[in-house]
Chains A and B, each alone.
Chain A
Amino acid sequence: MAEVLVLIDHADGEPRKLSLQLLTAAKQLAEDSGDTVAAVWLGPGASDAAERLGSFGADKLYHWDSDDAYGYVTLPQVEALEAALEASGADTLFFASSNHVKDVAARLAIRVGAGVITDVTGLAPGDDGRLVATKEVFGGEKITESSVAADAKQFIGIASNAFAAEEDGSGAPETVALDVELSEAATAATVVSVEKVASADRPDIGEAAIVVAGGRGLGDESKFGLMEQLADVLGAGVGASRAATDAGWYPHRYQIGQTGRTISPMLYIGAGISGAIQHRAGMQTSQHIVAINKDPEAPIFQIADFGVVGDLNQVVPKLTEELTSRKG
């Protein structure tokens, strides 16, 4: 019986939603192959999170409680995860396919000779015992199936919302403290401070189940207020097209598209966005797409599950109102 490792990405002491999805995915695969699931928590907070991780599928929890995990850039996490990999003898690592975590996977893959597949939306056991990973490429135009070679460890990065997180009610996992001695190189880049700018009440667009996005058709900055009101009724994240971020109406960090973020929510609602290919490349893997646009010829309607041809100034506030009353 082998262990599969799941690196838990966390913020403010809470595992991120995507990390719980990883645990469930790993648990389901492990049950088929008779493996067990070991979570890895780097930085303080493991003991408080242990029970929760157990209930989502972790049989064991490797932890390194040092502040150094996030006090320096990436390398302490790489070295601690390498210690976990050695302690467990695991051949498979699941990680959140989000930006900073990908760096950890890339650096560790070089160290241990692993193969990495990122942005995975589906997993199945292959005939040769290796995982077959499905992912969408070219902004969702094509779908590929890939595997890691038999002689390399397989590092699989999972995309947001591809798997449902399910509590299976198991108890707290066995915990194992990792013994980590950092190399000198690991402390070359120091985190001096952390600037938090995102609204604490609004989820990040990378992991939100619902994303509301505004584009050029909003006409000016103030209309993003309408989008935020709609988002807050739905518990959604707020994104923007490049036209809107380049115009300075919304921060660049929320840009969805080929040069910005790629999102895959359960539901995307775009208003005043025509759906140029550069934007579609960042959102067309969304499971459901809603478009609100006054131009019936806008290309976004071709990929919309539900489209409203109309003035967003009327439709968006009305939708917020309708949803509020339905929730009531």
Chain B
Amino acid sequence: MKVLVPVKRVPDTAGEKSFDPNDRTVDRESVESVLCPVNEFAIEEAVRLKENHGAEVTVLLVGPESAQPVVRKALSYGLDAGLQITDDAIAGSDALGTARVIAKALEGQEFDVVLFGNQSTDARTCLVPAAVAELLGLPSLTYARHLEVGEGKVTVHREHEEGWDVVESTLPAVVSVVEAINEPRYPSFKGIMAAKSKPLEVSSLADLGVEPDQVGLANAAASVHEVRDRPPKEAGTIVEDDGSGSAAAQLADWMVEKKFV
């Protein structure tokens, strides 16, 4: 079984984020960047497929050379090989542009399952897994809280507002996972050391056969033309309870005043 895990480098949620004032893209060099925490659930699931089915797992990252530590980080969980797509023309792509690059990279690979995180912690559009599936003509089994890969078929529990759908699909398929699916392990010391010498291939758009006019900021169908800080919040009312719960009455009054009751 072959598994591909696309991962993303994201700004650390706790870090100060800034946008390039010229093109209003995220200034990814100025902030501390990390492996997207949602990817950890996909990686854990891939490790389990290795343990239970002997799966061979490749990590895929679309991003500049400076994002390479994120590929090594993903490999440190025990995955087998890395593939990084690096090209200046990719910068500023929207979610669908990024999906085009990922889909082209996947076209050159053999796989049974592609394992995404359901969202990235920075943009959170959730569009990429389904768009990649569409580009590859494959089922999109997204928001999986449970995954079982069998012979030529896969069963997924797709989470939704009321519960989940139990879904059976042919393979290959594109899956995205939600955090309910597992509890990710930390990389072992051995894994961290081994990650340094795992094979990592770097490809350009030309290697994949992607035309530069399909991707990048200038060709994004959706683009940002203004960025501003969220206006600072006015200081709220803070009351101290005397230990009896009496402050609840003040809170209830406030809620009535605001018409929530």
Bound-state CA distance A195–B221 (Å) is 37
Do A307 and B99 have beta carbons less than 8 Å apart?
Answer: no
Do B221 and A152 have beta carbons less than 8 Å apart?
Answer: yes
Cβ of A113 under 8 Å from chain B:
yes
Cβ of A1 under 8 Å from chain B:
no
Cβ of A27 under 8 Å from chain B:
no
Bound-state CA distance A73–B170 (Å) is 12
Do A266 and B125 have beta carbons less than 8 Å apart?
Answer: no
Do B241 and A144 have beta carbons less than 8 Å apart?
Answer: no
Q: How many residues of B contact A (CB 8 A)?
A: 90
Q: If A195-B166, A306-B236 touch, does A189 touch B141 (CB 8 Å cutoff)?
A: yes
Cβ of B109 under 8 Å from chain A:
no
Bound-state CA distance A281–B243 (Å) is 31
Please report which residues of chain B, range 113-165, place their CB below 8 angstroms from some CB of chain A when the two chains form the complex: 118, 121-131, 133-135, 137, 139-143, 145, 155, 157-165
Do B11 and A138 have beta carbons less than 8 Å apart?
Answer: yes
Bound-state CA distance A49–B223 (Å) is 36
| Residues on the A chain within 8 Å of B24, using CB | 144
In the assembled complex, the CB of B25 is this many whole angstroms from the nearest CB of chain A, namely: 11
**Residue from B166, B243, B249 in contact with A310 in the complex, judged by beta carbons closer than 8 Å:** B243
Q: Which of A53-61, A100-108, A214-222 contacts B (4 or more CB under 8 A)?
A: A100-108
Do B96 and A73 have beta carbons less than 8 Å apart?
Answer: no
Interface size of A as a range: 35 or more
Q: Which of B80-88, B187-195, B199-207, B252-260 contacts A (4 or more CB under 8 A)?
A: B252-260
| Residues on the B chain within 8 Å of A148, using CB | 221-222
Q: Mark B195-224, 1 if CB is under 8 A from A, else 0.
A: 000000000000000000000000011111
In the assembled complex, the CB of A149 is this many whole angstroms from the nearest CB of chain B, namely: 5
In the assembled complex, the CB of B20 is this many whole angstroms from the nearest CB of chain A, namely: 13
**Residue from A74, A198, A234, A304 in contact with B236 in the complex, judged by beta carbons closer than 8 Å:** A304
Q: Mark B2-27, 1 if CB is under 8 A from A, else 0.
A: 00000000010110010100001000
**Residue from A113, A142, A260 in contact with B19 in the complex, judged by beta carbons closer than 8 Å:** A142
Do B238 and A307 have beta carbons less than 8 Å apart?
Answer: yes
Q: From A210, which residue of chain B is reached at the shortest CB distance?
A: B260
Q: If A114-B221, A142-B230, A192-B167 touch, does A322 touch B96 (CB 8 Å cutoff)?
A: no
Cβ of A67 under 8 Å from chain B:
no
Q: If A142-B17, A304-B238 touch, does A258 touch B121 (CB 8 Å cutoff)?
A: yes
**Residue from B13, B124, B167, B224 in contact with A145 in the complex, judged by beta carbons closer than 8 Å:** B224
Do A110 and B164 have beta carbons less than 8 Å apart?
Answer: no
Do B228 and A189 have beta carbons less than 8 Å apart?
Answer: no
| Residues on the B chain within 8 Å of A142, using CB | 17, 19, 227-230
**Residue from A16, A138, A188 in contact with B170 in the complex, judged by beta carbons closer than 8 Å:** A188
Bound-state CA distance A195–B157 (Å) is 9
Q: From A126, which residue of chain B is reached at the shortest CB distance?
A: B225
**Residue from A102, A321, A323 in contact with B126 in the complex, judged by beta carbons closer than 8 Å:** A102
- A interface: dominant SS: mixed
Bound-state CA distance A107–B22 (Å) is 31
Do A255 and B134 have beta carbons less than 8 Å apart?
Answer: no
Cβ of A137 under 8 Å from chain B:
yes
| Residues on the B chain within 8 Å of A262, using CB | 124
In the assembled complex, the CB of B27 is this many whole angstroms from the nearest CB of chain A, namely: 12
In the assembled complex, the CB of B1 is this many whole angstroms from the nearest CB of chain A, namely: 18
| Residues on the B chain within 8 Å of A73, using CB | 139-141, 158, 165, 167, 169
| Residues on the B chain within 8 Å of A28, using CB | none
Do B222 and A116 have beta carbons less than 8 Å apart?
Answer: yes
**Residue from B122, B134, B179, B245 in contact with A110 in the complex, judged by beta carbons closer than 8 Å:** B134
Q: From A308, which residue of chain B is reached at the shortest CB distance?
A: B247
Please report which residues of chain A, range 195-217, place their CB below 8 angstroms from some CB of chain B when the two chains form the complex: 195-198, 204, 206-207, 210
Do A197 and B254 have beta carbons less than 8 Å apart?
Answer: no
Cβ of B240 under 8 Å from chain A:
yes
In the assembled complex, the CB of B132 is this many whole angstroms from the nearest CB of chain A, namely: 9
Do A310 and B247 have beta carbons less than 8 Å apart?
Answer: yes
Q: If A116-B95, A116-B222 touch, does A99 touch B160 (CB 8 Å cutoff)?
A: yes
Do A310 and B241 have beta carbons less than 8 Å apart?
Answer: yes
Q: From B183, which residue of chain A is reached at the shortest CB distance?
A: A246
Bound-state CA distance A267–B261 (Å) is 11
Q: If A192-B168, A196-B162 touch, does A109 touch B131 (CB 8 Å cutoff)?
A: yes
**Residue from B130, B161, B166, B228 in contact with A103 in the complex, judged by beta carbons closer than 8 Å:** B130
Q: From A252, which residue of chain B is reached at the shortest CB distance?
A: B180
Q: Mark A286-321, 1 if CB is under 8 A from B, else 0.
A: 001110100010000111111111110011111101
| CB<8 Å pairs between A and B, sample of 14 | A99-B160, A100-B142, A119-B125, A144-B226, A194-B166, A198-B163, A259-B37, A281-B121, A289-B236, A307-B237, A308-B251, A309-B238, A314-B241, A314-B248
Ranked nearest first, the 10 interchain pairs of A and B with the lowest CB-CB distance are A310-B241, A115-B221, A318-B245, A252-B180, A314-B245, A189-B169, A318-B248, A322-B252, A189-B139, A103-B130
